[in-house]
Amino acid sequence: MLRYRGWWRSQGCPSCGAHELRRTRRNRLDRWIDRLGIPRRRYICSECGWQGARIDETHLF
């Protein structure tokens, strides 16, 4: 998964390409990864319903 760093950071939905992603609640794994220093946020696509995580570039060190 780390091989595809561009995918984690890319904007928009990886499934349909729409740019309308909404934030959704994080789970325990997301919070644990955040404590390791990786600002991962969960999103849902308003077009196709895709759900997944992306790295929040505004919180990178």
For 2-58, what is each residue's pLDDT tens digit? 454 555 555 788 889 888 889 999 889 988 988 888 888 899 999 999 998 888 777
Strands 51-55 and 40-45: antiparallel
- Residue 53 lies in domain: 2-59
Pair of tokens at residue 47? 């077009």
User: What one-character DSSP code corresponds to residue 35?
Assistant: H
Q: How many domains does the chain have?
A: 1
Q: What is the dihedral of CA 58, 31, 11, 7, to 10 degrees?
A: 120
For residue 23, what are the CA distances in angstroms to 2, 3, 40, 42? 22, 24, 11, 6
User: Rounded to whole angstroms, how far apart are CA atoms 46 and 28?
Assistant: 24
- Residue 1 pLDDT: 44
